[in-house]
């Protein structure tokens, strides 16, 4: 399998020059007949969509949603209203598609975008469904998004422990999706931009096969997004690959610090 390419982009936040790096990958997995996942990793928007509903329905839903969001990036203003307008159009596209089924055709949607309209650029996470965004900050991994699922509601109500949720018969039942019913806007959360941060955006095909500890392990083992996504995908497939697997890693580094290090008298220099 060819190595996944890492893409970079320079940005300025609070007069600091930062470097964004990202890579994404999707795979059918070991047990599915087709891949109903889709993703978009194009500055400043990074999202994963996990489709559902019949043989072709999930693929229609996820691809329609990603295509509409690609249009938002192309138009150049990635904002909450623009995203929600795109999702409304995606819902209409899904409903009008000749291969849409009556089996609850829809898709999850989760990810982050860099909000350049704010006074200071900031990350905004968005979420519909049970795909997830994780953030590794100061070597601590946290789940940024909250699943929209029956199991998560049972956990929140104190009727189920996180341990009992593993393998629960309703673990795949989600309570919100794009296209399955009237659209509810995504949940949003703002996050300050901080050098050293690493986001993992993924479908549940990854989290079914890798624990949070496993995700953190591969981030520690691989400093660049491309090798990290390849390693996580390989591990998910080795652990069973029971579902389509899709993930994006986005990370922030301090370009000024790198420049300071390279200009230090003690720094290594190429001849």
CA distance 250 to 170: 31
Buried b / exposed e along 120-146 (16+ C-beta atoms within 10 A)? ebbbbbbbbbbbbbbbbeeeebeebbe
- Residue 270 has which token pair? 């190429």
Q: How many CA atoms lie within 13 A of 142 on its CB side?
A: 7
CA distance 210 to 217: 10
- Residue 155: the pLDDT is 80
CA distance 177 to 181: 7
CA distance 161 to 153: 11
Largest CA distance in the chain: 67
Per-residue pLDDT band for 156 (boundaries 50, 70, 90) equals confident
The tens digit of pLDDT for each residue in 27-80 reads 999 988 899 999 999 999 999 999 987 667 789 999 999 999 999 999 998 999
Query: Phi, psi (5° rounding) for residue 138?
Result: 55, 40
Among 195, 192, 193, CA closest to 138 = 195
- Residue 24 has which token pair? 């994404």
- Length of the chain, in residues: 271
Per-residue pLDDT band for 267 (boundaries 50, 70, 90) equals very low
What is the dihedral angle through the alpha carbons of 210, 211, 215, 218, rounded to the nearest 10 degrees? -70
The tens digit of pLDDT for each residue in 136-152 reads 999 999 999 999 988 88
Does position 98 have pLDDT exceeding 70, yes or no? Answer: no
Whether 45 contacts 72, CB under 8 Å: yes
The tens digit of pLDDT for each residue in 180-219 reads 677 789 999 999 999 999 999 999 999 999 999 999 999 9
């Amino acid at each position: 399998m060819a190595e996944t390419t890492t893409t970079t982009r320079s940005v300025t936040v609070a007069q600091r020059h930062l470097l964004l790096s990202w890579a994404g990958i999707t795979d059918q997995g070991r047990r599915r007949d087709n891949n109903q996942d889709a993703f978009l990793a194009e500055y400043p928007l990074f999202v994963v969509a996990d489709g559902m509903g019949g043989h072709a329905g999930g693929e229609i839903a996820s691809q329609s949603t990603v295509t509409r969001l690609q249009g938002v990036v192309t138009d150049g203003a990635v904002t909450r209203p623009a995203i929600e307008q795109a999702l409304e159009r995606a819902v209409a596209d899904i409903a009008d598609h000749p291969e849409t089924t009556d089996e609850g055709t829809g898709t999850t949607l989760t990810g982050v975008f860099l909000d350049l309209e704010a006074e200071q650029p900031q990350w905004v996470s968005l979420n519909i469904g049970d795909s997830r965004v994780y953030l590794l900050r100061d070597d601590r991994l946290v789940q940024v998004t909250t699943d929209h699922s029956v199991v998560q509601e049972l956990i929140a109500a104190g009727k189920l422990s996180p341990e009992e949720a593993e393998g629960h018969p309703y673990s795949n039942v989600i309570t919100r999706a794009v296209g399955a019913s009237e659209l509810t806007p995504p949940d949003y959360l703002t996050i300050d931009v901080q050098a050293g941060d690493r986001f993992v955006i993924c479908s549940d095909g990854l989290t079914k096969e890798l624990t949070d500890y496993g995700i953190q392990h591969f981030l520690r083992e691989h400093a660049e997004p491309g090798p990290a996504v390849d390693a996580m995908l390989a591990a998910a497939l080795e652990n069973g690959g029971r579902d389509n697997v899709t993930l994006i890693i986005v990370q922030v580094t301090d370009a000024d610090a790198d420049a300071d290090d390279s200009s230090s008298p003690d720094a290594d220099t190429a001849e």
